């Protein structure tokens, strides 16, 4: 039985597909249902009984990750930070963490992935069997978009193929892996791929070819990759729908109506407004003469006045005023979105790099 399993969370990367949000905030700290993605990951690692956690960070965003996660004590884990100076692939991240990992078996978890039900059963299977590696897989409608695993009738991996034009299975590689010490020798024999990176799929393939026991575990619940805007909105929708519980800690005046599973945190005021769940409204917000519709999260200390919002993620410190209908949107921290009737014909915009505006 494998004991003393460590965890390695990959929290580097530049999040280029989520700019301009990720110009100032790491993608792992973007909120889903008003909780940073990374927090869900650490929760699930702690739930699986793993307390020794290595966190891969990047020079550009490492300090923000450290500021959020600290020493890990709020989750009951110990976090060791490991700097990956250049994003040279997942296998390179493992090799960068070599001193931390030593010869221990470990769980590797991409820090921007959300999965339903956690990883406890996945880890428990690895603890109890004789496999050298166990790979989390998920059946998907279009496997051509993913790394795909081919398995035999016993669930052992036979081959991994990156984004195949004609997939031989519908099993996508999720981005959560379990390895023992043999992964390190497989990585040492790798050459960079066409992307100039050391690919973890190539390392796993090396293990298969070396007759190591590489098993599979099929995820039955949802898997959400939060790499793009629409993915973020879908993750927010699914998590609100699946996990949110009704909890009212703020103040609701007599003219307001709150229906369904709605979370309203301390210090928030709902004034002459309607809120229809699932909705999460964080601390210290003020909602006035507005409608907050399903699948919306509003970050702390935000103000919404005379507006209607639905299926959106609003980060902290925003001010939204006189917006007749805002939907399918992600609004970054401390943004002001205000309609000025006097300048109907002229649009005045002050935007960060790589912003997308749909009018």
355 within a domain of the structure (yes/no): no
Identify the CATH number of the domain in which residue 120 sits.
Answer: 3.90.550.10
Domain assignment present for residue 349? The answer is no
Write down which residue in 239, 264, 284 finishes a domain: 239
Q: Could you say which of 200, 215, 239 is where a domain stops?
A: 239
For 240, the token pair is 């609100």
Any idea which residue has 């966190």 for tokens? 55
Same domain? For 302 and 155 the reply is no
pLDDT of 356 reads 57
Residues 49 and 182 in one domain: yes
Report the SS3 class of residue 103: coil
Interatomic CA distance for residues 309 and 335, integer angstroms = 15
* pLDDT score of 27: 86
pLDDT along the chain (359 residues), means of 10: 87 76 83 94 96 94 94 97 91 95 96 91 93 94 88 87 86 94 94 85 93 93 83 92 94 97 97 98 98 97 96 92 90 86 53 51
CB 122 within 8 A of CB 176: yes
* One domain for residues 94 and 197: yes
Q: What is the DSSP string of 232-273?
A: HHHHHHHHHHHH---EE-SEE-TT-EEESSEEE-TT-EEES-
18 located within any domain: yes
Is omega for the bond preceding 278 within 30 degrees of 0, making it cis?
yes
Looking at the structure, tell me whether residues 45 and 174 fall in a common domain.
yes
Q: What is the predicted pLDDT for the residue at 4? A: 87
Q: And the tokens for 29?
A: 């700290």
Q: DSSP label at 33?
A: T
Total structural domains within the chain: 2
Find where tokens 């280029």 sit.
Answer: 16
Whether 118 is in a domain gets the answer yes
C-alpha separations of 263 from 28, 31, 32, 175, 260 in Å: 23, 15, 13, 30, 10
Asked if residue 299 and residue 230 are part of one domain, the reply reads no
Please tell me whether residues 231 and 316 are part of one structural domain: no
Give residue 357's pLDDT. Answer: 54
Q: Which of residues 201, 221, 239 is at a domain's end?
A: 239
Alpha carbons within 13 A on the beta-carbon side of 86: 4
Residues 193 and 254 in one domain: no
In a domain, 357, yes or no: no
Task: Give exposure, 191-220, as e/b (b: 16+ Cβ within 10 Å).
Answer: eeeeeebbbbbbbbbbbbeeebbbbbbebe
Asked whether residue 80 falls in the same domain as residue 109, the answer is yes
Domain boundaries, position 17: 6-239
**What burial class does residue 104 get, using C-beta atoms within 10 Å of its C-beta: 0-12 exposed, 13-18 middle, 19+ buried?**
middle
Would you say residue 77 lies in a domain? yes
pLDDT of residue 354: 54
Let me know whether 186 and 86 are in one domain: yes
Three-class DSSP category at 132: coil
User: Which pLDDT does position 332 carry in this prediction?
Assistant: 87
Would you say residue 348 lies in a domain? no
Give the position of tokens 């069997």. Answer: 129
65 with 206, same domain: the answer is yes
214 and 277 inside one domain: no
């Amino acid at each position: 039985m494998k004991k003393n399993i460590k965890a390695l969370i990959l929290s580097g990367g530049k999040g280029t597909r989520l700019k301009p949000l990720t110009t100032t905030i790491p993608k792992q700290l973007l909120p889903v249902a008003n909780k940073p993605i990374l927090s869900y990951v650490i929760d699930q690692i702690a739930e699986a009984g793993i307390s020794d956690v290595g966190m891969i960070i990047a020079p550009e965003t490492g300090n923000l990750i450290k500021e959020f996660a600290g020493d890990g004590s709020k989750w009951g884990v110990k976090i060791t930070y490991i700097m990956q100076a250049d994003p040279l692939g997942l296998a390179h991240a493992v090799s960068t963490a070599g001193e931390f990992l030593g010869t221990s078996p470990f769980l590797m978890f991409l820090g921007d992935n959300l999965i339903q039900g956690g990883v406890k059963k996945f880890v428990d299977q690895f603890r109890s069997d004789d496999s050298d590696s166990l790979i989390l897989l998920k059946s998907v409608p279009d496997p051509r978009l993913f790394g795909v695993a081919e398995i035999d009738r016993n669930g052992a991996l036979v081959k991994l193929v990156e984004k195949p034009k004609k997939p031989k299975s519908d099993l996508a590689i999720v981005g959560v892996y379990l390895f023992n010490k043999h992964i390190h020798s497989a990585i040492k024999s790798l050459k960079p791929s066409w992307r100039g990176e050391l690919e973890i799929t190539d390392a796993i393939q090396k293990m298969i070819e070396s007759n190591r026991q590489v098993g599979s575990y099929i995820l039955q619940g949802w898997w959400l990759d939060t790499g793009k805007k629409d993915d973020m909105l879908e993750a927010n929708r699914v998590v609100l729908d699946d996990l949110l519980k009704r909890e009212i800690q703020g103040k609701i005046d007599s003219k307001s109506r709150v229906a369904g599973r709605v979370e309203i945190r301390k210090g928030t005021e709902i004034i002459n407004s309607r809120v229809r769940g699932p909705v999460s409204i964080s601390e210290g917000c003020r909602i006035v003469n507005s409608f907050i519709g399903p699948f919306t999260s509003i970050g702390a200390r935000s103000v919404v006045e005379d507006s209607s919002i639905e299926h959106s993620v609003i980060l902290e410190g925003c001010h939204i005023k006189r917006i007749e209908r805002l939907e399918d949107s992600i609004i970054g921290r401390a943004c002001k979105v205000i309609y000025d009737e006097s300048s109907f014909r002229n649009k005045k915009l002050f935007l960060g790099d790589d912003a997308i505006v749909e009018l």
